[in-house]
Amino acid sequence: MLNYPNIDPVAISLGPLDIHWYGIMYLLAFAAAWGLAYRRAARTDSPLKSSQVEDLIVYGALGVVLGGRFGYVMFYNFETWLADPLWLFRIWEGGMSFHGGLLGVIVAILLYCRRINASFFSTLDFIAPLVPLGLGFGRLGNFIGQELWGRATDVSWGMIFPRDPEQLVRHPSQLYQAFLEGVVLFAIVYWFSRKPRPRLAVGAVFLIFYGIFRFAVEFVRQPDDHIKTLVFGWMTRGQLLTIPMIVIGVSVLIWTYTTYKKTGHSTHKKKHKHKHKHKQKVSEE
């Protein structure tokens, strides 16, 4: 058994103001997305300019926070919200959902693309590699805050979380998710996005592999006490919400490559100089 590194969830105390590590992890997530977005915006096939990145991150951050909270309330604590509707706005009491955050980001990006008249699908492919690092930071925040821990286990790397009322040796499932959803998913999606791909292919790859990793970790992650298994006596709410992501991802990937083979058009555009007239023209690959 490994000893849990009992880190104070409060990173900095400034009088009555406490700055939690979870909040710092959110800031690191947005900072990482901002830096990577600037790097990607410099590419010739980018749907966005560098000057548009800051607003993109602002829209994305609002989508994450509002969608994440709304999704948690709707997907995981609907009964609590019905009994106390104002609980939706008490964000400081905790509770965020990735699936809700994902939907929130999609809506926010749709609004942003309409505002700047950019391609919505191409922008989704643009932001897909930005997400995994943020997920990784978020799971580290869960680990420090001693929340969303794993199920009881007898593996040698199990831990006892000091705040666990049962004091059981548990899987550090937050670290599993930080590695798979953060490091591994980022490596896969970023590598895949380095070359021009058919429209929505990058986003589809993100959905597929996030879904696979999340579905797998749910087997060792402790379900919330107020949520009972739903399907076949073993499938958790997280797994149930993840299945549509995998199905949609696979369907979109098949559709976009089938369309690409028929039309020869990808989501990316490159600029080429005309050999004789020295004028730029746009061609699609």
Per this entry, what is the length of the chain? 285
Q: What is the pLDDT of residues 261-278, one digit of tens each?
A: 877 655 555 444 444 444
Domain ranges of the chain: 10-269
Most trustworthy range by pLDDT among 61-75, 95-109, 196-210: 196-210
C-alpha dihedral, 28 to 31 to 33 to 37, nearest 10°: -160
CA distance readout (Å), 167 to 1, 146, 170: 13, 12, 9
Q: What is the pLDDT of residue 66?
A: 87
CA distance readout (Å), 62 to 4, 36, 85, 111: 33, 18, 21, 12
Q: Which residue has the higher pLDDT, 215 or 69?
A: 215
Q: Quick check: 8 pLDDT over 70?
A: yes
**What pTM was estimated for this model as a whole?**
0.84
CA distance readout (Å), 171 to 156, 161, 168, 197: 10, 10, 10, 38
Q: What is the pLDDT of residue 55?
A: 93
Average pLDDT over residues 53-75: 87
Tokens coding 3: 């000893």
Average pLDDT over residues 111-119: 94
CA distance 224 to 220: 13
CA distance 73 to 209: 25
Per-chain mean pLDDT for the chain: 86
Tokens coding 272: 């080429």
Where do we find the tokens 């402790």? Answer: 222
Q: What is the pLDDT of residues 12-28, one digit of tens each?
A: 888 788 888 888 998 99
Which helix H or strand E contains 19, and what residues bound it?
strand 17-20
